[in-house]
Amino acid sequence: MKNGATITHGTIITHGTTISIGELSRLTGVKVTTIRYYEHEGLLEAPERNEGNQRRYEDTHLQRLQFIRHARDLGLGMAAVRELVQLSVKPDHSCEEANKIATTHLSDVRNRIVRLRSLEKELERIAKSCRGGRIGDCSVIAALSDHGQCAGDHLP
């Protein structure tokens, strides 16, 4: 945080200012129910409540939620996000574990890309085999009905 303020989507949240859960949702693009879920899971600290019992979020909540949202947007699972959140509050620790999480996820993403390319080729082959006509003679329906007609193994 620079100069005691967080800037998000053109809005400045100054230190000591609080916002509602709806405003937090609007600023981060995270649904209210998801924010509550993250609180329940311990990823986001429960905020103080005002005299009307309304949750009031501070800039630290906004920063943490942006961190979680970015990690989730990159496809990290909840267990990895939880670990990274825990690591993020230990600035003097080695970043080895964070890097291990990132490189493991990168490997998983690359493996999924290989599988998706295989699926793409097979679906392209199946789609090109269609000559039109009646469903009873449809090569797409036939290929989906008989895995033996597939050119290769494309199971997940």
Q: What does DSSP say about strands 5-8 and 48-49: parallel, antiparallel, or unpaired?
A: unpaired
pLDDT at 3 over 50: no
Q: How far from chain centre, in Å, is Cα 19?
A: 24
The two three-digit tokens of residue 19, written as one number: 């916002």
What does pTM read for this prediction?
0.77
3-class DSSP state of 63: helix
Convert the pLDDT of each residue in 95-112 to its tens digit: 999 999 999 999 999 999
The HSE-up count of residue 150 (CA atoms within 13 Å, CB side) is 15
Q: In the structure, what pLDDT confidence band is assigned to residue 115 with cuts at 50, 70 and 90?
A: very high
Contact 4, 15 (CB under 8 A): yes
pLDDT at 2 over 70: no
Tokens 């509602």 map to which residue? 20
